[in-house]
Structures are given as structure tokens and as C-alpha cells.
Structure 1
Amino acid sequence: MIEETPPFVETMIQDWSLLSENWRVGLVVFGLVFGTATVAYLASLFVYALEKRFQRTSNLWDDTFLHAARKPVVAFVWLQGVYWAAEVAHKFSEAEIFKVNDTVLRLGFVWLLVWTVLRLIKEGEAILSSPVKMEKPLDYTTVTAVSKLSRAVVIITAVLIMMQSLGYSISGVVAFGGVGGIAVGFAAKDLLANFFGGFIIHLDRPFKVGDWVRSPDRNIEGTVEHIGWRLTTIRTFDKRPLYVPNAVFTTIAVENPSRMFNRRISETVGIRYADVSLMETIVDDIREMLQNHEDIDNKQTLIVNFLTFNSSSLDIMVYTFTKTVDWTTFHKVKQNVLLKISQIIESHGAEVAFPTRTLHMVENAPAEAMAEPAESVGKGGRASRAQSRQGEAAGSQNDEA
């Protein structure tokens, strides 16, 4: 910032009589703007060269800072150069627009500082969550949340500083914001509930972007695409976007299958009753097959036992866990396990049971079993016998006729 026109500039304008004063002022302003453009270009090249040099070092933050500061440095040169040109023009002009030079310069400095900090936050977010640049990258959801909160703090602080520069009292603004905040809180309670719900998600981290989540309380299931301050976007398995307000997650139970360590195979296989003598051998072979299977985690629970006498089968319980948690790979492993179980059953000459029913017919039954009981209890029994005798009499009459 300068308080007055440099003496050499003022002397050149006043003493150089070849052109009129307006032309001389215009040439000086043009020269300052042209010089500003030249210095800005050279500053950009200088910072870019430093950035390329620091990229060859192992430190990631030096070239990150230079990359974040390169454009604000160029903008600073333009701001200062244009301010000087405007001060020269204001010295020889009474235009009202030049009276705000100092205010524009102060606001410009604040804006450049905020721009630099915001670019630095963005670059830091990319580094901290990148598996290429970091050996142990931080969780993307957490880094994004901290980045958003940091940007909000920087912007709010910059707005308050600019208002103070414009002559407004910050204490009055804060007091007005407190009273207005109460009214806004009552009017936008759902919005605030979603905001704090998003804050709780970022704090507790029950899921992150890319996780498969589902809720037994609501019809919610899919892959998390984005966690905002108001909404969480979930892509369902039929590829439709589902937008869930963050306040919902504070009142429901959420499952995160993406964080499981294993996937479970729980099946019941039945063999025929005729193969009961082979049951123990079949069970032992299935257990041995699972213990030696390369895709089965033997550190987890493994159960293969004769379970129950079912209505048409002898049931075997197969309970084990796979090493993979990938959904597609899990089904391939499960298919392989079931096919091997069927091969074991067939190798022993047994068969997998299916629902059947056996009807036993009694041959040469005694006559007493087919005869009608001598006595029946109740009026219904006597009526039935009377009707039967009447039917027999009518049948005899018809035969005689």
C-alpha cells in the first residue's frame, strides 16, 4: 500500500510537456499495468520452477504449498500493480471510483489470504487420503469432513474480517446472529437435525464412502456414494440413487457388511433313510474336505454333524466360514463346496434325499379286520346300521325282480 504517488512518477507527469496531462497520465497508467503483467508472468514462472524442483524431494508439503500459492502470488502482483495505477489516476482525477482504492486493497489482501488457505486445505485433503502419496492414508470420509469444517471456519472468519474492514461492528453482527440463530433454529430444526446427524456420522464413522450398508429398520441397502452435511447418497443394487437425510441414521440400526471378516456358509444336506449306515463316514469326509479346502477359514467355527431325523431325510448340518468377503467370490466358493459334498455322498453309493412318502399295503388281511363292528356308540352309529340294512334289503328286492 502506498500513501502518495512516487516522486519520480509525479515529476515525469508534470515536467514531460510533449503530451497533454491526460495522455501523460494514461501512458504512466499503461506502463504500470504493463509492468504488473510482466512481473506477474515472471513470478508465475519462478514459483512454477520452484514447484518442479521441490517435487523431486521426498517432502510432499513444500511443493504442495507452492502449488497452492502460485495463483494467489500472481493475483497479489496484479492487485498491487492495479492499486498503484489506480492511485496515480486518482492523483490527477476526481472520479468517485478511485476513492475506494484503499478499501479494495484491504479486501483484496484478505481474499488472497483466504484463497491461499482454501487451496492449501484442498491440496492437503488430496495428499492425506491418497494411497499413492501416503503409506497409510487416512480415511477419506474423515479427511473430507475435516476439510469441509476447516473451509467453513476460514470463510466465516474472512467474512467477519471483511465486515470489520468495511466499518461494521463485529459485536453487533454476532449479537444479531445470536438472536437470529434462535429463530432460524426453530424454523429449520429438520435442517439442523440433518446437519448434526452428518456430524455424528463423521465422528462415529459407522460407514464411509464405498461401504455396503443396509438397515433392518428401513428399506435401505446399497453402496455409499457421498456423505454430505444434509444428505447421504446411497446407490442401491438396482443402480438407483437413494438420498437419505442424515438425521435418519441417528434413529435406526445400520449394518455394515463391508467390514465383515468372513462370509458364512450355513446349509442343511439330507440323505436317504436307506443310507443311515453310511452317515458317519459321509460326515467325516465332508468335515475333512472343509478342513483342507483352501478357501475355508479353519480358524473360525466349523461344524459338520448329523442334525436330525427329518420327515423324509437324514439331515446333515454344514456350518463354516470362507476367507473371502467378496460377494461374487463367496458364491463361487460356496458352489464348489456344495458340489464337493454331493460328490462325497455319491462316492459312498448314497443319494441326496428329496421329499418322498412310502405307503405300506397289508396283504391277506384277516376277515375280522374288514368286518363291521358289532356295536357302535351313539345314535349316529345305530342310524348308519339301519340305513345300511335298508340298502341291503332294497338291493335284494331289485335282484329278485
Structure 2
Amino acid sequence: MIEEAPSIVNSWIQDWSLLSESWRVGLVVFALVAGTALVAYIASFIVGVAERRFQKTSNLWDDALLHAARKPVVGFVWLQGVYWAAEVAHRYSESELFSVNDTLLQLGFVWLLVWTLLRLIKQGEEILASPLKMKKPMDYTTVNAVSKLSRAVVIITAILIAMQSLGYSISGVLAFGGVGGIAVGFAAKDLLANFFGGFIIHLDRPFKVGDWVRSPDRNIEGVVEHIGWRLTTVRTFDKRPLYVPNAAFTTIAVENPSRMLNRRISETIGIRYADVSGMAEIVADIRSMLENHEDIDQDQTLIVNFLAFNASSLDIMVYTFTKTIEWVRFHEVKQDVLLRISEIIENHGAEVAFPTRTLHLPGGVRVAADENRKAAGESDESGASDHAEESGRAPASGSTYSSETRGDSEEATGD
């Protein structure tokens, strides 16, 4: 019936002689376009009603299919309607524009199919990675990689079909692509290196979107925001975006602290040499405190021991792991542990050591220095008293006089 529609319209145009042929063609074209708009609206309404009804069911894929097909269905109606109108105009027009109607129709069908598949892939990506729609959502990085690969396959296939529809030989295109691919590969080796680097990231999955990554080889540290085919976006801790070519991740070491099981507390605490007698009890109490701490993982290594005689302290090694891996919570636990250790040390009458230096002098040196100071003091006192007796006045506090000055005073008195 659909294939006979253009012939029926043509017979009506030829038999109806009330208006001129150009007017009849114009009215038919207008009617076809108006009818297409009406049918497109009805199709959109029907699909929308069905979509709302299917949303009430537990099946998510029928919702995804209807949502993906809603706009392409409207596009199909418009494509078919405009094609019929163009076919009618082509029969009564000598314009070369209408000679490509069939080719455009084929390309339009390919485009609508690709549009539907791309929308369906997007809907599937949202469903598989959503914790609200799936009980066990898949990893977003994996879903995103499969989605990108599926889009690439759909687009490449559509391009080949479109070229076949335009009259090009696919075998020739593939042969040309094989030879040209070598030249392109040499010219764009960095781009291809980044592409395959992104493929390796999606394949090995050393990190995913949302992970905290750090490289000891490069100045790279932050949270992964996006993994593309050429670049990976890392948001540093000062909130700046860092764009890293994917090829870099094939040559550098990458740490993923987000996947750690515990966080480590490793501290060396020193007490004074004067507190050596209480060392054993202090170490035992610190170990007992850690074994009973609610935030310390008892399944991991726990070490508290007298470590070494240091330059100005007796060192105690404290080595343990917290249950939490959150950065802020870890520092809260570490603060609590250190405060409890300082309290234990204080309860035993000991003190935390700090860098000190003791200077030992030989006994003879110290005695000689004391005698020199005493002799200087006695000499000053006797000189001051003699001058006071001769002058009849008490010497001023802190004043010293030499023998030459005292002689001058005597001579002046005799004169």
C-alpha cells in the first residue's frame, strides 16, 4: 500500500482538472508535509504513552529501548513523508535536486539506525553504572570503555554502508585504508600511542574514575575525573585540572592509594636517658594501649619496641595500622594514639626527650678558673679599702683604682 501511494497521488493530479498542474502539485506536496507532521506528532505521543507505562514495570531495558527510539521514530516519519513529497515534485520538475531522492532515503535510514543505536548505547551505559537502577552496578570506567568501543564500531560500520550506498567499493576503500593507515601511523604516532595507552588503561584498569592516583616518577597526584582515548584528566589537590597523555601511563609507575587496605602509623618516640629504668613498662603499656584501641586493625602488624640508643634519647619504635583509609579520619586516629602515648610516658614520671648537649670539663681546669676569680676579687677589695682609709671616704660601688693613681693622690696630699 505504501509503495502504491505515489502512483495514486500522480493519477489524482493528472485526472483532477479544476486547478492547474502546478497548483495541484503544490497542494499535494503541502498535504503530504502537513500529514507527515500530524503522523509524527501521533507517533511521538504513542511512544511517550508507552514509555510512561513501561516505566512502572521492573524491566529497565524496555524503558531504555523506547526512550532511545522515540526521536528516531519521529525522524523516520519525517524522512518518509518528505521523500514522498520529493518524489511527487520530482515527477513534475526537471530540477536535478530531486534525482538523488533514493540515495538520500537510504542514507537517511542508515543515519536513523545509527542514531537509535547510539542512544540505546547511552541508555545502557547509564543503567549499568547507576547504583539506583542496578543492585550491583558495574565499574563506570569499564562501562564507559565498552560504550566508546561500541560507538566506534557502529559509526565505522555506518560509514562503510553509506559509502557502499554512494557507489564506492568497500574492498577498494579498505585496501586504500590499509596503505594510507601506514602513512597516517607514521605521521600521527604520538596520537596513536595515546590511543593505545587509553586502551591499555581500560584493559588493565590500574585506576578508574574517582580514584586517587600518584606517580613517584612524575609530578602527578590527584583524583581521576575522566579517562579519554587521548587524555586522562586528573584533578589535583589544589583543585587544578591536570591533563596527562595516556601514553605516559605506559612508561611510569602509578600508585593508587584509593585501593589501600589500611593506613600506617610509623613513629619513633624518644625518652630521656634518665628514664631508662622505666623503659620496659612504658613499652608494655603502649603496646597494650594499641592492642585495645578500637581504631587499630589487630589483624595487621603491630610493633612496639625499644629501638636504639640515640644521641640524646632512647628511641621507641611504634608501628601499626588503622582500620580507616580516609585521610581526615586517619589523622584523627593518629592524633589520639600520639596523645595516649604521651600520657603513658607522663604517668611513668618520664619525659619525651629533645636534643640536648652536656659539656664535661676536667676538674683541674675548673679549680684554676675559680682561684683566678677569687684572687681578682680579693685584690679589688684591698685596693678599694686602702684608698678609703687614705682619703677618709668610702670607695664608690663598683669602682677600681690602680697603684699609680693612689701614689698621685698621696703626693698631692703632702704638698
Normalising to structure 1: TM-score of the pair?
0.88
Stretch moving more, 354-363 or 219-228: 354-363
Distance, in Å, in 2 between the alignment partners of 1:4 and 1:193 is: 55
Contact 1:33–1:82 at 8 Å: present in 2 too? yes
Q: Which whole-Å CA distance do the structure 2 matches of 1:159 and 1:231 have between them?
A: 26
Structure 1, unaligned runs of 5 or more: 368-401
Q: Distance in 2 between matches of 1:319 and 1:274?
A: 24
Q: Give distance in 2, aligned partners of 1:45 and 1:292.
A: 67
> What displacement does 1:358 show?
2.5
1:221 aligned residue:
221
Cα 1:131–1:5, aligned 2, differ >3 Å: closer, same or farther? Answer: closer
Q: Match for 1:207: what amino acid? A: F
State how far apart, in whole Å, the 2-side matches of 1:361 and 1:110 are: 99
After the TM superposition, which residues 12-161 of structure 1 pair with which residues of structure 2 at under 5 Å, given as runs?
A: 12-161=12-161
1:390 corresponds in structure 2 to none
Q: Deviations over 1:337-359 (max 9, x none)?
A: 11111111112211111111223
**Identity rate, percent:** 81
**AA in 2 matched with 1:101:** N
In structure 1, what residue type is equivalent to 2:297? D
Larger mean Cα displacement after TM superposition, 236-245 or 349-358: 236-245
Aligned partner of 1:346 in structure 2 is 346
Question: How far apart are residue 247 of structure 1 and its match?
Answer: 1.2
2:6–2:84 contact (8 Å) kept in structure 1: no
Q: Mapping of 1:165-314 within 5 angstroms? A: 165-314=165-314
CA distance, structure 2, for counterparts of residue 202 and residue 212 of structure 1: 17
Shift of 1:11: 3.4
Deviations 1:370-398 (A, max 9, x none): xxxxxxxxxxxxxxxxxxxxxxxxxxxxx
* 1-structure distance, mates of 2:268, 2:7: 98
Distance in 1 separating the partners of 2:267 and 2:284: 16
Unaligned runs of 5+ in 2: 368-415
Paired residues in the alignment total 368
Whole-angstrom CA distance in 1 between matches of 2:210 and 2:345: 42
Q: Secondary structure at the match of 1:229?
A: coil
CA distance in 2, matches of 1:109, 1:123: 21
The amino acid of 2:234's aligned partner reads I
The question of whether the paired residues in 1 share the 8 Å contact of 2:160 and 2:170 is answered with yes
Residue 121 of structure 2 aligns with an amino acid whose one-letter code is: I
Quote the offset at 1:361 in angstroms.
4.5
Give per-residue Cα distances to partners, 1:248-282, cap 9 Å, x unaligned: 11111111111000000000111111111211111
Q: Give the structure 1 partner of residue 326 of structure 2.
A: 326
Q: Tell me the CA shift for residue 47 of structure 1.
A: 0.7
The Cα shift of 1:6 comes to: 3.8
Question: Aligned to 1:185, what secondary structure does the other structure show?
Answer: helix
Secondary structure at the residue paired with 1:308? Answer: strand
Q: Is the 8 A contact 1:224 1:235 kept in 2?
A: yes
Q: 1:171 to 1:365 in 2, by over 3 A?
A: closer
Q: Is contact 2:224-2:233 (8 Å) kept?
A: yes
Question: Is the CA contact (8 Å cut-off) linking 1:118 and 1:151 kept in structure 2?
Answer: yes
TM-score of the pair, normalised by structure 2: 0.85
Deviation at 1:75, TM superposition (A): 0.3
Offset, 1:208:
0.9
Contact persistence 2:6–2:87 (CA under 8 A): no
Larger Rg: 2
Taking only aligned residues, the RMSD between alpha carbons, in angstroms, comes to 1.9
CA deviation map 1:125-150 (0-9, x unaligned): 11111111111111111111111111
Paired letter, 2:196: F
Q: Do the aligned partners of 1:5 and 1:87 also contact (CA within 8 Å) in 2?
A: no
CA contact (8 A) 1:5 1:88 kept: no
Cα distance between partner residues in 1 of 2:15 and 2:209: 69
Q: CA deviation at 1:22?
A: 1.2
Using the alignment, how far apart are the partners of 1:355 and 1:132 within structure 2?
Answer: 58
